[in-house]
Amino acid sequence: MEIGKLFLKSNSTGIITFSELDWITTHQSNFTRLEESIAIKLGRMLDAGSINIGCRLKS
């Protein structure tokens, strides 16, 4: 998984899953500065209510 793709998917669907949040926290020590800024942006979007924690249904 890449944080850039995760950001785009979360931004377009408005949902981030618990497993994706777990992946972020597990790999954050290996992030570059750019990846860190994306993770911070995702956190701010969660705080603002732009994205929610939930699940995506497969179509």
- pLDDT tens profile 1-59: 799 999 999 999 999 999 999 999 999 999 999 999 999 999 999 999 999 999 877 76
What number of other Cβ atoms are within 10 A of residue 19's Cβ? 10
Domain extents for the chain?
3-53
User: Could you tell me which residues are beta bridge partners of residue 15?
Assistant: 52
52-53 and 15-16: which strand pairing?
A: parallel
Say what the pTM is: 0.87
